[in-house]
Amino acid sequence: MDRGGCQMSGGGGGVVDDGGGPESSGMITLEDLESFSEDQLSDSGNGSLEEAADTMEEDGRLLQYWQDVARGHQVKVSQDMAEPIQQLTSNNQGRSKREHIPFTLLGKREKCGNLLYEKREYEKGHWACITMCEDTYEQSICYGFMRMMRYICQQNSLGDYLGMTIPIVTVVHTDESHTVISNGVTVAYYLPAEHQAQPPQPEDNEITIDIWPSTIVYTRAFSGPTNEVTIIDQINAMAEVLESPGVCVNDSFIVAGYTNPAHSNRQNEIWFLERR
């Protein structure tokens, strides 16, 4: 499986968040679970057999929910995803528990009071990456994210939950004319601050821990689903507003997602990477 491009550097690594069809995105994230009513989840008990039964029932409902969401994107969620799904749900009650990837704002460009783009610097850091080449863009994102979930939740050298950071990003590559997205898609997860010095190693040998160098990016926000069509549209729209598009990498881009991909007003960003 090709892992090319799994670096945020001026030489060409890009990162996105997920893909989806014209009406919805393919990636399943924590916000999907948050729409699953907390009233439907079991209250914590006292370690009794009844509590164990309730927990199993809760896990089953959460898994079924994910399977229902994924089915619309031609993605299968296997039975062994029940535990990672439950861990993400119980450890991330509310957005405040998700760590934002740190950056320094270097500048921004506005027109008539509207923000066209921001210029940011992201510091050197450790990222967990996996590159997928499924039949469709949406499937690559979904399956890559689920494998990353297993790493985040327990399948790591610590055997413990690592914590969530946002945005989850994916790397996409295009031709020079920005009309076609290549098949290989890299899903990347920024390690939380407490794990940056000594990143836990993944049990999945397709997941790599990479050091991405300090990078300057130009970012533009957009809302709605992310799929091949919308990503190409946003790349071309960003190229039009950049004052000097030639300073950026021309064939590798980052799409970052912050909110539920099934949400009608999903919040995303397109990132252009400054050449090194």
Q: Is the pLDDT of residue 23 over 50?
A: no
Q: Average pLDDT of 114-132?
A: 96
Closest CA to 87 of 25, 33, 28: 33
For 237-269, write each residue's pLDDT tens digit. Answer: 999 999 888 899 999 999 898 875 445 567 899
DSSP assignment letter at 173: E
Q: Average pLDDT of 108-124?
A: 95
Q: Is the pLDDT of residue 17 over 50?
A: no
pLDDT band at 168 (very low <50, low <70, confident <90, very high): confident
| pTM of structure | 0.74
Long-range CB pairs of 92-97, under 8 A, 24+ apart, other chains included: 92/30, 92/164, 93/38, 97/163, 97/164
Looking at residue 25, what is its pLDDT? 40
Q: Is the pLDDT of residue 26 over 80?
A: no
Cβ partners under 8 Å of residue 168, min gap 6: 17, 18, 27, 29, 145, 148, 187, 188, 189, 256, 257
Distance CA 180, CA 207 (A): 26
**Is residue 236 helix, strand or coil?**
helix
Looking at residue 76, what is its pLDDT? 74
Closest CA to 143 of 157, 156, 152, 133: 133
Q: Is the pLDDT of residue 235 over 60?
A: yes
Looking at residue 103, what is its pLDDT? 97
Over the chain, what is the mean pLDDT? 76
Q: Is the pLDDT of residue 2 over 50?
A: no
* Cα distances (Å, whole numbers) of residue 119 to 23, 132, 204, 217, 256: 30, 29, 35, 6, 15
Looking at residue 50, what is its pLDDT? 43
60 membership: H or E segment, kind and range: helix 49-71
Q: What's 99-274's CATH class?
A: alpha beta
Cα angle for residues 147, 153, 157 (degrees, 5° grid) = 90
Report yes or no: 161 and 142 within 8 Å, Cβ to Cβ. Answer: no
Report yes or no: 188 and 252 within 8 Å, Cβ to Cβ. Answer: no
Whole-angstrom Cα Rg for the chain: 19
Q: Is the pLDDT of residue 36 over 80?
A: no
Residue 197, judged by CB atoms within 10 A of its CB (0-12, 13-18, 19+), counts as exposed
Q: How far is CA 120 from the centre of its chain?
A: 19
Report yes or no: 20 and 224 within 8 Å, Cβ to Cβ. Answer: no
Looking at residue 74, what is its pLDDT? 66
* Cα distances (Å, whole numbers) of residue 141 to 170, 233, 251: 8, 19, 19
Q: Is the pLDDT of residue 28 over 50?
A: no
pLDDT band at 271 (very low <50, low <70, confident <90, very high): very high
For 40-69, write each residue's pLDDT tens digit. Answer: 333 434 444 344 444 445 557 777 766 676
Looking at residue 89, what is its pLDDT? 66
Compare 91 and 201 and report the one with higher pLDDT.
201
For 93-107, write each residue's pLDDT tens digit. Answer: 554 467 899 999 999
